[in-house]
Homo-oligomer: A and B are copies of this chain.
Amino acid sequence: MGSSEKTFRVGLVAPGTRMPPELARRAEALAQKAYGGRVSLHFHPQCFRHAGHFAGEDHERIEALVEVANDPAMDAVWFARGGYGACRVAEYAIPRMTEAAGAKAWLGYSDAGFLLAGLHRAGFGRVAHGPMPVDLIREGGEQAFLRGLGWLVDGDKRALEPSLLKDGLPEDGRAMAFNLTILSQLLGTGLEPDFTGRVLMLEDVGEYMYRVDRYFFHVTQNAAVRRCAGIRLGRCSAVPKNDPDFVLTEEEVARFWCERAGIAYLGRADIGHDSDNRVVPFA
């Protein structure tokens, strides 16, 4: 690496739940090992704050997000982790963001989907659903971390969800991805993006199958969602045991509701709350 090469600076915030500092240190060391001085991670101190459930009070999370978003020294904003809380800050933070924020690449998933949706609605062109530094707690998490970072820094197309590639090249503007629960909870709010013509990829974690079924009812019976090009089902992991057994699998549930709603069911998507989670740009 030549010393003339500009360092790619990634700003990190936690709009929901707190990030353990030791995980941030691991992320920094891993980025250093993989990229040397070409990439630097900048965890905003807000990531480590405590306020009940949240990584700091609402106003602290709003201020940190706006600060990192608008900082011209940062090339990208990476959500350090999800948890819960982005829906409390999005409405206030997004309107305060400048062109510097709109020019950055943005990456995250799970609860951060509230922000991905709201940013896309606000016209941000480089928003993507994909791995976060918190994935380092998972088995194989380094792989997920480096996949996310590779997309942020170099737009690495090997990071992309495979159905987004045609003849080995990415097709832009085709998809959106969300946690199913988060999508359900942002429909009808000021964060709802335009689904028209998009392939909608949906994953979930830790939800009973009867809830997955109910979320699919809610999402597929929505007129705005019905303008999408189709649904792909990501992984539904850590599903608690239903008593009695729900009988239907998550794919049967997805097919059932898509058929009922007249939405094309397009098969599986390689996304989920796991280390294999691929990147889905909304652009």
Contacts and interface: CB of A to CB of B under 8 A. Distances in A.
Given A52-B247, A53-B210, A247-B52, A221 B188 contact: yes
Contact of A187 (B52, B53, B187, B209): B187
A255 to B, nearest CB: 14
Interface stretch (A20-28, A143-151, A166-174, A211-219): A211-219
Given A87-B214, A214-B84, A52 B248 contact: yes
A274 B241 CA distance: 25
A185 interface: yes
A93 B242 CA distance: 26
Interface string A80-93: 00001001100100
A184 interface: yes
A186 B218 contact: yes
Nearest to A84: B210
Contacts of A88: 213, 217
A246 B87 contact: no
Contact of A217 (B51, B87, B213): B87
Contacts of A51: 247
A280 to B, nearest CB: 23
B246 A188 contact: no
A185 B184 contact: yes
Q: Give the secondary structure class of A's interface.
A: loop
Contacts of A244: 50, 52-53
User: Number of copies of this chain in the oligomer?
Assistant: 2
A190 B221 contact: yes
Interface string A248-280: 100000000000000000000000000000000
A188 B53 CA distance: 29
A91 B218 CA distance: 13
Contacts of A218: 184-189
Contacts of A187: 187-188, 218
Nearest to A185: B218
Interface in A165-218: 184-190, 209-210, 213-215, 217-218
B242 A214 contact: no
Contact of A221 (B189, B217, B222, B247): B189
A218 B215 CA distance: 13
B185 A246 contact: no
13 contacts: A50-B244, A52-B245, A52-B246, A53-B242, A88-B213, A185-B214, A185-B217, A187-B218, A188-B218, A188-B223, A188-B224, A189-B218, A189-B222
Given A184-B184, A185-B218, A188-B221, 5 more contacts: A52-B246, A187-B218, A188-B222, A188-B223, A189-B218
